Amino acid sequence: MSRIGVFLCYCGSNIAGTVDVEAVAEMARTLPGVVYVETNKYTCSDPGQEGVKNAIIEKGIDRVVVGPCSPRMHEPTWRKLLADTPVNPYMLEVANLREQCSWVHKDKAIATEKAKDLVKMAVAKVARLSPLHSTEIPVHKKALVIGGGIAGMQTALDIADAGFKVTIVERETSLGGKMVMLDKTFPTMDCSACICTPKMSEVGNHPNITVKSYSEVESVSGYIGNFEVTIREKAKYIDYTKCTGCGACETKCPSKVINEFEQGMSKRTAIYKMFPQAVPSKPVIDAEHCRMLQEGKCGVCAKVCPTGAINYQDEDKLTTETYGAIVFATGYKLIDWKPLYPEYGGGKYPDVITGLQFERLVNASGPTEGHILRPSDNKEPKSVVIIKCVGSRDPNKGKAYCSRACCMYSAKHAHQYLDKVPDGRCYVFYMDVRTPGKGYDEFYMNTVHDGAQYLRGRVSKIYKEGDKLICKGEDTLTSQQVTVAADMVVLETAMVPADGIDELAAKFTVGRDADGWLVEAHAKLRPVETNTAGIYLAGTAQGPKDIPDSVCQAGAAASKVIGLLNKDKLESNPQISRVNEALCQGDGACANICPYGAISIVEKQFRENSRKVTRPVAQVNPGLCQGCGACTVTCRAGAMDLMGYTNESIMREVDALCQW
């Protein structure tokens, strides 16, 4: 038989003013299982709490009902109090006598009746609770950052500087991401490489950071503090312990391939470094285009390599390590506008380029050494049309959202063009100009003063006549149709999530929104966490951002990781789902419905009818389960139950209430 102690609170006159607490206490004494009832002026005060503790010990109480304010207010307080007594902290029920009774009713008689019911319900429920124990989860003091762009690098540096080991997984051959492709950064116009490459080498040389370039996450299991991650390091065909990065191999390689880093505007060799300042500063062999690896003929790079670092027999390497926290800094790519905008030629015209291609054109280390020359004939364009919101804010063809950075970088592109081609004309077609940010609007106004012609409207068609690209559009401010004969058109295309993020997110059970961006746990209050505990977001993986915002979020994610890694152990929430394996049929409905991927179906051996049988049953991962209880309702057999809110205890509450 349970020994229930009921502790009712006056809360000064807050409760006692409308509820006859003594009458409630009198009723409580008659309830089955109740051995002790006490009223107190302020139960939550130190003397009040002391009184509860003493009563528990003196009366041999094994479960407790308190009747004060809302459990949302003080439930943790009561749990903490019980932790100091022989009573299990989860053998507790709080009757909300203040927020949901005394404060909302005026008639004392009615409020007292209701308070009695609330106490009855609480007593009924607490009698059905069972002691729960939170388990301690060890925390592996090591973080994994997925993605080596500016957000990933910043996160890694911040975590590493705090003294924890970090691994960066980058699927390209070098760190740097998109930022290192850019020429200059708005609004200060510092050279992107000048501020990005030092970060890259800092990351590369940091004693706490391991960079795994040309690598991808293969699989993952586990939970917060204990993610077991297998990383596939793709075959580089070069022994990095021997390679000095001299580059002799690159100059001799006979195989020429389209250069992705230069946005397809130049060629690279099959053995290549992504760009000169790459980190790690060593090449890889692109197996698909290497003559030696494809046809078994060539081997020039091995001949010229002074250190014998070339290894054509290299294979993918799999390594598995345990990490305490994971940060997604997987970044973005530009939307593939070609199939979406046939009216812009759909890729038919080489001189209709994207913003990123323009960045490479204007970059001193780019294919044209910084001279703005149009791809078709290497002539300097004398008039350029810039079209904003290509794929952004266009739910019919592209995405409904605003890509956030394009207003500023299109202003930058106009500025750079007018700077390099002083006699050129630049037209910018826009829907709105959005420049919230320090120094942003000033930058935009300067571009306008430089002579960029801003036209409010969209371009409906681009076609070629002679060697001109005719852009037809509307100036909605004057309601005039406008036609611009341009030499080159720059499309400022929308940001979309990086390739492969769908599979990666599914591996980690991180949610994605309708557009594919990773979803934060709360849009306002938990913007860098995900719904999976221990996994965080940095940069454009979460949605379009510019560089300052990405870096900010990277720092925020890092501080969350540092906070987690600082702990030696985590205490798990014991109010989670539990499986009754005798009833479980293993059909997996619960596993399908679980938003955290906390339930898996495993084959287990049982002894049934004096026979050994192996059958599937559900298994709850205590590190992932958050205790929502959705699985309990899906389970028809009732094999799933939620600790702290068990089916029986809720039914008892309902019954207690119906007896009123």
Partner 1 sequence: MSAQEIIRARAKELLESGEIATFIGWEAGRFTNQTTPLVITDAADAGKLVFNEYCANTLAKYVTDVLARGKVGLVVRGCDSRAIVRLINDKVIKREDVYLVGVGCPGMKDRKTDEPLKKCTECRHNNPLVFDEMAGENAEKAVPEDRFAEVKEVEAMTAAERTRYFESIYAKCIRCYACRDVCPCCTCRECFVDQRRENWVGKQNNVAENRFYGLTRVMHIGDRCIECGECERVCPMDLPLMKLNRKVIQDMNDLFGEFESGLVISAEPSVLTTYELTDREEFM
Partner 2 sequence: MPVVENNANAIPEDWEPKIIAFCCHWCTYTGADLAGLNRMNYPANVRVLRIPCSGRMNPQYVIEALNKGCDGVLVCGCHPGDCHYVTGNYYARRRMMIFKRLLEYEGLEPGRFQVKWISGAEAGKFRDTVMKAVEDVRALGPINLTREIPYFELPAMPDDDEEAFNAVPEEVFPEEVNA
Partner 3 sequence: MMKYANFPGCSANTTGKSFTISTNYVAKKIGCEFVDIPDWNCCGTSAAALTSPELAVALPARSLAIAEQKLPGLDVVAACAGCYKSLRTSLVYARKSAENLEQVRELIDMPYEATTDVISLLEAFSAPEAREAIAAKVVKKLRCLKVACYYGCAMVRPVEVCDFDDPEDPQSMDELMALIGAEPVDWAFKTECCGAAQQMAVPKEARPMIERIFQNAWANGADCIVTSCPLCMLNLDMREAEINKARIAAGKEPFDIPCYYFTELIGLAFGGQASELGIDIHFHPAEQLLQKRAQDAIELEKAEAAARAEEERRQAELAERIARKKAEKAAKEAAAAKEGADVGKEDAR
CB of 478 to partner 3, least distance (A): 16
Site membership for partner 1, residue 616 (CB under 8 A) = yes
> How far apart are the C-alpha atoms of 308 and 83, rounded to whole Å?
65
Binding range to partner 3, per CB under 8 A, among 292-300, 339-347, 433-441, 495-503? 339-347
User: Which option in partner 2, partner 1, partner 3, none does residue 99 bind, with CB closer than 5 to 8 A by kind?
Assistant: partner 2
CB of 343 to partner 3, least distance (A): 5
Q: How far, in whole angstroms, is CA 333 from its chain's centroid?
A: 16
Q: In terms of CB distance, is 362 or 639 closer to partner 1? A: 639
> Burial letters for 340-371: b for 16+ Cβ neighbours within 10 Å, e otherwise?
bbeebbeeebebbbbbbbbbbbbbeebbbebe
User: Which option in partner 3, partner 2, partner 1, none does residue 114 bind, with CB closer than 5 to 8 A by kind?
Assistant: partner 2
CB atoms within 10 A of CB 607: 8
Binding range to partner 2, per CB under 8 A, among 51-59, 168-176, 449-457, 647-655? 647-655
Binding range to partner 2, per CB under 8 A, among 102-110, 163-171, 558-566, 607-615? 102-110
Site membership for partner 3, residue 131 (CB under 8 A) = no
| Of the candidate residues 132, 246, 470, 519, the single one contacting partner 3 (CB under 8 A) | 470
How far CA 243 is from CA of 21, 228, 311, 500, in Å, comes to 81, 31, 11, 30
CB of 531 to partner 1, least distance (A): 16
Q: Which two tokens stand for residue 64?
A: 């407790």
Site membership for partner 1, residue 582 (CB under 8 A) = yes
Site membership for partner 3, residue 136 (CB under 8 A) = no
Check: CB of residue 236 under 8 Å from CB of residue 257.
Answer: no
Site membership for partner 2, residue 653 (CB under 8 A) = yes
> How far apart are the C-alpha atoms of 466 and 384, rounded to whole Å?
16
Check: CB of residue 182 under 8 Å from CB of residue 359.
Answer: yes
CB of 150 to partner 3, least distance (A): 37
Site membership for partner 3, residue 526 (CB under 8 A) = no
Site membership for partner 2, residue 71 (CB under 8 A) = yes
Site membership for partner 3, residue 465 (CB under 8 A) = yes
Q: How far, in whole angstroms, is CA 87 from its chain's centroid?
A: 40
Binding range to partner 2, per CB under 8 A, among 289-297, 391-399, 448-456, 645-653? 645-653
What is the sign of the dihedral through the CA atoms of 142, 145, 149 and 150?
A: negative
Residues whose CB falls within 8 Å of the CB of residue 128, separated by 6 or more in sequence, listed in order: 646, 648, 649, 652
CB of 652 to partner 2, least distance (A): 10
| Of the candidate residues 343, 377, 419, 442, the single one contacting partner 3 (CB under 8 A) | 343
Number of residues that bind partner 3 (CB under 8 A): 10
**Helix locations, 425-514, DSSP H:** 440-450, 501-507
CB of 654 to partner 2, least distance (A): 5
> How far apart are the C-alpha atoms of 99 and 606, rounded to whole Å?
49
Between helix 547-565 and helix 150-161 the angle, nearest 10°, is 30
Q: In terms of CB distance, is 240 or 606 closer to partner 1? A: 606
Site membership for partner 3, residue 423 (CB under 8 A) = no
Binding range to partner 3, per CB under 8 A, among 259-267, 287-295, 457-465, 569-577? 457-465
Q: How far, in whole angstroms, is CA 56 from its chain's centroid?
A: 46
Q: Torsion angle of alpha carbons 262, 268, 274, 275, nearest 10°? A: -70
Site membership for partner 1, residue 588 (CB under 8 A) = yes
CB of 652 to partner 1, least distance (A): 5
Check: CB of residue 19 under 8 Å from CB of residue 108.
Answer: yes
| Of the candidate residues 464, 512, 526, 578, the single one contacting partner 3 (CB under 8 A) | 464
User: Which option in partner 3, partner 2, partner 1, none does residue 506 bind, with CB closer than 5 to 8 A by kind?
Assistant: none
Site membership for partner 2, residue 506 (CB under 8 A) = no
Q: How far, in whole angstroms, is CA 91 from its chain's centroid?
A: 36
CB of 397 to partner 3, least distance (A): 11
For the segment 546-585, give every residue that binds partner 2 (CB under 8 A). 575
Helix and strand tally (H, E) in the chain?
17, 34
Check: CB of residue 277 under 8 Å from CB of residue 198.
Answer: no
Check: CB of residue 579 under 8 Å from CB of residue 619.
Answer: yes
**Could you write out the DSSP letters of every residue in 341-370?**
-GGGTTT--TTEEEHHHHHHHHSTTSTTTT
Q: In terms of CB distance, is 387 or 504 closer to partner 3? A: 387
Site membership for partner 2, residue 96 (CB under 8 A) = yes
CB of 531 to partner 2, least distance (A): 6
Residues in contact with partner 2 by the rule CB under 8 A? 70-73, 96, 98-101, 103-107, 110-111, 113-114, 117-118, 121, 511, 531, 575, 593, 595, 626-630, 632-634, 642, 645, 647, 650-651, 653-655, 657-660
Residues in contact with partner 1 by the rule CB under 8 A? 128, 514, 582-589, 592-593, 616, 634, 636-638, 647-648, 651-652, 654-655
